[in-house]
Structure 1
Amino acid sequence: MRVVISAGDPSGDVRAAELVTELSRRVDISVSGLGGPHLRESGVSVLFDLEEYSVMGFAEVLTSLGRFRRLRNMIRRHIEEAAPDIVLLVDYPGFNIPLARWASSRGFRVVYYISPQLWAWGRGRVRKIRGSVDLMITLFEFEVDFYREHGVRAFFAGHPLADSIPEPMETGLTGRIALLPGSRRQEVSMLAGPMADAYGLLREGGLVGSAAVAVSGSVPNELYDPILRMEGVSAAGSVREALTGAAAAVVCSGTATLETAMWGIPFIVTYRTSRLTWSIARLLVRGVRNIGMANLVAGEEYFPELLQNRVTPEGIAECISSMLRVGPERNRALEGTTRVREALGEPGSSARAAEALIRSAGE
């Protein structure tokens, strides 16, 4: 089976690599395209490195349009030359949704893994993929109903975190916190400073004595300096390492909120982007009260969210302090971690996704 893949962000690279590993156990497969280190390790021929194209936010994308046009043209040319059995698109909707329409119009079979959050962005974008995507493989069960209502064939595989985090870790009032400022350059540049200053306030107040910050290999080390230069702070190479021994966590909105919930650690959600990006997002998003994936999956706000102007050292310190003592806020967050675990499904999601993709290729 020949597959051309497009996975343009770090979390998609991880999940796509797990899927490719399961595919290779079942069929003779050749995969090439856009990806990162995890896909490369899984045997994929990474022709276009995601580190050059991992951009988020409307304003940030506008400044990189030239690069994305070149990438679009190169990957289209590669698809035509490779003539794959499947064009596999992984998350990365701003790039992959137009690519799906193009590939479908050329007669290629398109499978989309890790659904873009079209249920938040409105029906207009759903219409753009109807007729372009042969199969949408989702990580969340509620997404299947949404897509079927809009005429898109969908399959619920479950979330890979159910495999990688089978049990929550021990947590208690340890006097240690985890800081997770994100896996992208823009996220870390926006959040590292406020998180560092919030930690300083908490340390001065005697609520914490140490912290671990999760660092990403795709982000320049100097962007973490505001946090790492503070007393009592250590660098962690993974979310798991950062959370180990933590009483609570401050987490950038995204997949890390799900991972933190699955590990059973109480946390708050933070997110900040450019004013232009935020203004556009507010105009486009309708009917969604929360942005943290853990809250969306749990069905209500179990984990407090600090967004945009509320992301201040004082705001973070005040909000996380309620998680550092026994009380209703910490108990509610712990309840939320249980809800998230229940919602992510049974282990075996990557295997189920692989089997669904193979069935689709044979149709």
Structure 2
Amino acid sequence: MSENKTSLRIGIVAGEASGDILGAGLVAALQERFDEVIVEGIAGPRMLALGAKSLFPMERLSVMGLVEPLKRLPELLGIRKRLRQHFLANPPDVFVGIDSPDFNLGLEESLKAAGIPTVHYVSPSVWAWRKGRIKKIARAVDHMLTLLPFEADFYQEHGVPVSFVGHPLADDLPLAPDVEGAREELGFDVEDRIVALLPGSRGGEVRYLGPLFLQAARWCHQRQPDLKFVLPAANDARLSEIQALLKDFPELPLTLLDGRSHEALTACDAVLIASGTATLETLLLKKPMVVSYKMGAMSYAIFSRLLQTPWVSLPNLLARRELVPEILQDAATPESLGAELLKFFQDPLLRDQLQREFNDIHQQLRRNASARAADAVCALIKPKQ
């Protein structure tokens, strides 16, 4: 990059709120390096607040599951075609696709072929399944930015330029969480022994894991009556579903929250949690956890055959060994989950050792991610003639 360069035109496409958060961090870091940063593509409220121009509403890309994307496929393909035409007619200095790989990689491949430098921010789970996608990624991406270190190792092995930038959540969360403050906010006493239950944010997850987690909580409470429980519902729909489930557990000392998962995780002593991204926040808050997941028998048969890693949870993937128990599908019973949870209260040394290892991983992920991502983006920018 030329030292005299004072303006930057960047194309960005983020398909959901988490991508908007990453994009805003990147844009803010770039604004510190340039007098003017022109951002256009698809952005959410955080990037819009920094001056980005969104050519389409970000919500149009925020589709989940298998059926909904297929129903919306013509619209999504139309949006991608118009973005491609726009960027080819008005080439940015660099294009950054943030997550949303099914949408962004095809766009990046076209732009890279036209000589526009391309960056993909957040690795697809190519290291876990569908490894053949690495060929398309190599064609589409000049540089991959990964949030996790083992992801960067995979790309290096396959000859794809990559930077491990760290995780913004590790930058944002303190190394020592304010447990007393969180307990006071939620109405718990300092000496309370608290288990947080996080059965997931999707309807299917609560359907499979909600009753199971509550049964495991009952099993634990019968054996350790001083335990208290807290369950943060991810949204209004989950709140209603969990309220209906709780009618079968009148004896359970449980505080149901509307959102506020961060406070619940900070306040608790241990966590029973669905496998997913929330396990990373749980790790960064230094909370011992038992990870579980259940799905339909057919879906699990397909998933288990496709999976190419020994573990499913981020703590174990980051540690590259079984740091926390994973109890999946038919093995997940109230007794098996409850027995693992109670170990954290019966063995303080186990809890202390886990917290030390979580702290080490937190330090590893705390790398000023947005600034590192901006460095990698700047390195791709070609000097203007």
TM-score (norm 1): 0.84
Which residue number corresponds to residue 71 of structure 2? 66
The question of whether the paired residues in 2 share the 8 Å contact of 1:176 and 1:247 is answered with yes
Which residue number corresponds to residue 358 of structure 1? 378
3-state SS of paired residue (1:117): coil
Deviates more, 1:320-329 or 1:164-173: 164-173
3-state SS of paired residue (1:120): coil
Mapping for residues 235-250 of structure 1, pairs under 5 Å: 235=257, 237-250=259-272
TM-score (norm 2): 0.79
Which residue number corresponds to residue 182 of structure 1? 200
Aligned letter for 2:323? Y
* Structure-2 separation of matches of 1:102 and 1:219: 40
Which residue number corresponds to residue 77 of structure 1? 82
* Structure-2 separation of matches of 1:271 and 1:44: 38
Mapping for residues 284-295 of structure 1, pairs under 5 Å: 284-286=306-308, 288-295=309-316
Of 162, 167, 191, the residue aligned with 1:154 is 162
**Does residue 201 of structure 1 match 2:219?**
yes
Aligned letter for 1:113? Y
* Structure-2 separation of matches of 1:41 and 1:275: 45
State the Cα deviation string for residues 301-350 of structure 1 (Å, max 9, x = none). 1111122233444433232222233256534533431342243143x111
* Structure-2 separation of matches of 1:184 and 1:84: 39
Query: How many angstroms does 1:116 deviate by?
Result: 1.5
Query: How many angstroms does 1:204 deviate by?
Result: 3.8
The question of whether the paired residues in 2 share the 8 Å contact of 1:202 and 1:208 is answered with no
Deviates more, 1:303-312 or 1:79-88: 79-88
* Structure-2 separation of matches of 1:343 and 1:163: 10
* Structure-1 separation of matches of 2:32 and 2:233: 31
Query: Residues 25 and 84 from structure 1, CA distance in 2 versus in 1: closer, same or farther, beyond 3 angstroms?
Result: farther
State the Cα deviation string for residues 55-104 of structure 1 (Å, max 9, x = none). 2xxxx314531214422321331342253523322223343333433443
* Structure-2 separation of matches of 1:314 and 1:13: 40
* Structure-1 separation of matches of 2:167 and 2:336: 32
Which residue number corresponds to residue 129 of structure 1? 137
Of 23, 37, 41, the residue aligned with 2:30 is 23
Query: How many angstroms does 1:165 deviate by?
Result: 1.6
Larger Rg: 2
Which residue number corresponds to residue 214 of structure 1? 232
Which residue number corresponds to residue 118 of structure 1? 126
The question of whether the paired residues in 1 share the 8 Å contact of 2:198 and 2:274 is answered with yes
**Does residue 336 of structure 1 match 2:343?**
no
* Structure-1 separation of matches of 2:233 and 2:48: 20
Deviates more, 1:132-141 or 1:85-94: 85-94
The question of whether the paired residues in 2 share the 8 Å contact of 1:36 and 1:51 is answered with no
3-state SS of paired residue (1:166): coil
Which residue number corresponds to residue 104 of structure 1? 112
Aligned letter for 1:206? Q
Q: How many residues align?
A: 357
3-state SS of paired residue (1:235): strand
Which residue number corresponds to residue 57 of structure 2? 48
Aligned letter for 1:93? P
Query: Residues 40 and 312 from structure 1, CA distance in 2 versus in 1: closer, same or farther, beyond 3 angstroms?
Result: farther
Query: How many angstroms does 1:198 deviate by?
Result: 2.5
Which residue number corresponds to residue 271 of structure 1? 293
Query: How many angstroms does 1:359 deviate by?
Result: 2.5
Aligned letter for 1:357? V
Work out the percentage of aligned pairs sharing the same amino acid.
31
Q: Over aligned residues, Cα RMSD in angstroms?
A: 3.1
Query: Residues 71 and 162 from structure 1, CA distance in 2 versus in 1: closer, same or farther, beyond 3 angstroms?
Result: same
Unaligned 5+ segments in structure 2 are 1-7, 180-189
Of 304, 307, 315, the residue aligned with 2:328 is 307
* Structure-2 separation of matches of 1:328 and 1:51: 49
Query: Residues 34 and 43 from structure 1, CA distance in 2 versus in 1: closer, same or farther, beyond 3 angstroms?
Result: same
* Structure-2 separation of matches of 1:103 and 1:274: 40
Aligned letter for 1:20? V
Deviates more, 1:223-232 or 1:69-78: 223-232
Query: How many angstroms does 1:248 deviate by?
Result: 0.3
* Structure-2 separation of matches of 1:88 and 1:251: 33
* Structure-2 separation of matches of 1:8 and 1:154: 22
The question of whether the paired residues in 1 share the 8 Å contact of 2:118 and 2:140 is answered with yes
3-state SS of paired residue (1:213): strand
* Structure-1 separation of matches of 2:106 and 2:237: 27
* Structure-2 separation of matches of 1:105 and 1:276: 40
Aligned letter for 1:114? V
The question of whether the paired residues in 2 share the 8 Å contact of 1:4 and 1:79 is answered with no
